[in-house]
Each structure stands twice: as C-alpha cells, then as structure tokens.
C-alpha cells in the first residue's frame, strides 16, 4: 500500500514499515549524489595562487596540465559547496553595500561618510590581462576589489582587494592573525592587480561574524612576502621545464587533491600503487 497521507500510517503495520524503509533511503541517495557530483571548476593550465599555497607539487601538476582524477569525499564536497554559498552571499552583500554608498552620496550624506565605494566581484588574473601573469602563466581570481572615490566620476583614492575564507566556530575563536598560506595566496592577487591593500575576511559558520577591516586582517603589500611567493613560482616553472615533479608537501589538502592518484601521498590510506611518471600534455591529450 502507499504511504502518502496521514491516514495511511494506520494501515497494515508491515506495509507501513516497508514504506518507511523506502523513506530512509533519502540520506543514502543524497550522499551518493554528492559523491558522484562532478567537479564543476575548470581551470586552464598554469599557476593558481590557491594551489601554490598548498603544495608546490600541486601547482606543478596544474602548470603542466597533468591529468586530474578527483576523488574528493562527500565530507569535503559539502564543505566546499557551503564555502561557495558563503562567498556568493558576501559578494552580493558587498555589491549592495557599495550601491548604498552611492545612494547616500546622492542624498547628500555628511562629508565624513560621503565617499563612494565601488565593488567588483571575482576579478580575473590572467596572462591576457596583466604583464606579471603573462610572465609566470598565472591564472587566478581575486574574490573582489573595492574602489573608494570622493565623487561618482572622480579618481580612485583607495583600492582594496578582498579574499574570503570560511571556518568553524572554534577555529574562528582561536584566530588571531591571517593564516600564513592565505597571506601568501593574496600576495599573488596584490602583485598582479597592483593592489596596495587586501582585506582577508574570515567568516565564522558558527556565529556569522567576520574579521574586521583593520590590522592584522587588513594587509598592506609586503615585498618580502611577494619575493618568497615569486621564488616558489619560479621553482615550479623550473621543475616544469625539466619535467620533474618537486617534493610533495603533505597536508590535509591531500585528501581532496585531484592529483593524489599519481602523487600517492603517504597520509592517504590504501594499497600501495606504482608511482607513475609525470605525463606532460602532448597533441592535446594528457
């Protein structure tokens, strides 16, 4: 019998129990959906700043366009989906915030609050757009750029980049300064986009709080940090020229690395498999 109305609950117990067992399949179906959902991120071969800050071997594989075999577990896929949703929400809020400053200025806001803020989300860094990216084959995307102006059509007086990260309640409570790998990551955006300042927004998924736009989360470009990042980029290119993968740097990122099938980090459980050679792209095939 079906179980589609409240009255059906008082039908034959065995048949009701069978329909309830059907309903219990929803969790399994969702987990399977997440497990087999394809990775929708498509990136051209090159240096991607977020990958560079995880492991130079990951960046190397991206640069040489090595074959990807995503094996991300549902646990991580759901975390990434939530992170993307938070990014989209914050981008919409900042776009609305920027529009509000323009409305306030038109309404004659006091001089102290009379500036106009513009916001552009998802600002591309690519060889076609910036000389630095052309030099190092950098393909990345900053979460956003704020531009302050005194008048609607006046010159820019402040430019600030945006990078958003989400984290749990305990992580956020312990956060005192930006994570070093995030500082390294945003310096690639700053160097490519000529951004003197960057706001690292950490969003707490437990309390919905964010880090303020002041030090240490409002960063000024640091030539020393960029020199170290650029040296890492140069190292990746040197290894690519030799067709030789650099040493791996194992971390939790190995759990969702699409190159782990070949890299075979020791932290991943499973039977040992042969360490294959790096396959460079030839004739359009990996």
Q: Hey, which bits of the chain come out as E strands?
A: 116-125, 140-149, 156-167, 197-204, 218-220
| Within-domain flag for 278 | no
> Which residue range forms the structural domain that includes residue 24?
6-36
Based on the domain organization, do 20 and 135 belong to the same domain?
no
92: exposed, middle or buried (C-beta count within 10 Å: 0-12, 13-18, 19+)? exposed
Dist. CA 21–CA 269, nearest whole Å: 33
Q: Report the Cα 200 to chain-centroid distance in Å.
A: 13
Nearest Cα to Cα of residue 253 among 24, 84, 76? 76
> What is the CATH classification number for the domain harbouring 122?
3.90.320
Based on the domain organization, do 190 and 243 belong to the same domain?
yes
Dist. CA 116–CA 234, nearest whole Å: 39
pLDDT value at residue 40: 57
**Which of helix, strand or coil describes residue 188?**
helix
Dist. CA 94–CA 264, nearest whole Å: 41
| Within-domain flag for 274 | no
pLDDT value at residue 106: 75
CB 40 within 8 A of CB 276: no
Based on the domain organization, do 78 and 13 belong to the same domain?
no
Dist. CA 138–CA 62, nearest whole Å: 11
Q: Which residue has the tokens 């038109």?
A: 106
| Within-domain flag for 42 | no
Based on the domain organization, do 27 and 156 belong to the same domain?
no
106: exposed, middle or buried (C-beta count within 10 Å: 0-12, 13-18, 19+)? exposed
Mean pLDDT by 10 residues, the chain (286 residues): 90 93 89 75 84 88 90 83 93 94 75 78 96 96 94 90 96 96 96 97 96 96 97 95 92 88 80 39 32
Based on the domain organization, do 16 and 76 belong to the same domain?
no
Based on the domain organization, do 150 and 192 belong to the same domain?
yes
Based on the domain organization, do 25 and 71 belong to the same domain?
no
Dist. CA 51–CA 264, nearest whole Å: 17
Looking at residue 155, the DSSP 8-state letter turns out to be P
Instruction: With both helix axes pointing from N to C terminus, report the angle between 25-36 and 13-23 in degrees, rounded to the nearest 10.
Output: 20
CB 194 within 8 A of CB 145: no
| Within-domain flag for 255 | yes
Based on the domain organization, do 140 and 243 belong to the same domain?
yes
Based on the domain organization, do 28 and 165 belong to the same domain?
no
Based on the domain organization, do 121 and 256 belong to the same domain?
yes
- Note the residue count of the chain: 286
R_g of the chain, CA atoms, integer Å:
24
Based on the domain organization, do 166 and 234 belong to the same domain?
yes
| Within-domain flag for 216 | yes
pLDDT value at residue 36: 73
| Within-domain flag for 122 | yes
Q: How many CB atoms lie within 10 A of CB 159?
A: 16
Q: Tokens for 46?
A: 């090159």
Q: What is the number of structural domains in the chain?
A: 2
Q: How far are the Cα atoms of 20, 131, 230, 243, 249 from residue 237, in angstroms, in the given order?
A: 58, 17, 11, 10, 17
CB 188 within 8 A of CB 152: no
Based on the domain organization, do 26 and 74 belong to the same domain?
no
């Amino acid at each position: 019998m079906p179980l589609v109305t409240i009255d059906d609950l008082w039908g034959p117990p065995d048949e009701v129990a069978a329909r309830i067992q059907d309903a219990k399949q929803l969790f399994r179906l969702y987990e399977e959906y997440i497990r087999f959902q394809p990775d929708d991120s498509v990136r051209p071969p090159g240096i991607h700043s977020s990958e560079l800050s995880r492991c130079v071997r990951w960046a190397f594989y991206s640069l040489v366009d090595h074959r990807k075999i995503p094996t991300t577990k549902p646990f991580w896929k759901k975390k990434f989906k939530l992170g993307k949703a938070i990014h989209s929400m914050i981008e919409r809020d900042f776009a609305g915030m920027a529009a509000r400053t323009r409305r306030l200025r038109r309404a004659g806001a006091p001089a102290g609050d009379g500036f106009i803020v513009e916001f552009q989300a998802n600002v591309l860094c690519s060889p076609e757009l910036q000389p630095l990216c052309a030099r190092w084959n950098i393909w990345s995307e900053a979460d956003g750029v704020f531009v302050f102006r005194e008048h609607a059509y006046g010159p820019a007086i402040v430019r600030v980049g945006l990078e958003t990260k989400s984290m749990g309640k305990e992580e956020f409570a312990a956060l005192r300064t930006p994570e070093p790998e995030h500082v390294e990551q945003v310096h690639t955006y700053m160097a490519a986009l000529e951004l003197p300042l960057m706001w690292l927004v950490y969003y707490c998924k437990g309390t919905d709080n964010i880090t303020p736009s002041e030090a240490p989360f409002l960063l000024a470009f640091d030539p020393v940090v960029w020199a170290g990042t650029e040296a890492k980029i140069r190292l990746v290119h040197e290894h690519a020229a030799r067709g030789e993968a650099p040493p791996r740097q194992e971390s939790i990122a190995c759990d969702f690395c699409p190159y782990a099938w070949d890299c075979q980090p020791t932290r991943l459980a499973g039977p040992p498999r042969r360490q294959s050679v790096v396959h460079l792209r030839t004739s359009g095939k990996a």
